[in-house]
Chains A and B, each alone.
Chain A
Amino acid sequence: METNLQDFSLLSLITGASLPVQVVMALLIIASMVSWWYIFLKVFMLRRAENEANEFENTFWTGGDLTKLHESITSGHRSASVQGMASIFEGGFKEYARLRRQGGLESSDVMESSRRAMRAAFNREMDELDAHLPFLATVGSVSPYVGLFGTVWGIMNAFRGLANVAQATLAHVAPGIAEALIATAIGLFAAIPAVIAYNRFASNVDRLAIRYESFMEEFTNILQRKV
Chain B
Amino acid sequence: MNFFLVTGMVVFLIGALGILFRKDAISLFMCIEVVLNGVNITLVSFSRLWGNMHGQIMVFFVIAIAAAEAAIGFALMLQIFKHNKNIQLSDITDLRELRD
Q: Is this pair of chains taken from one and the same complex?
A: no
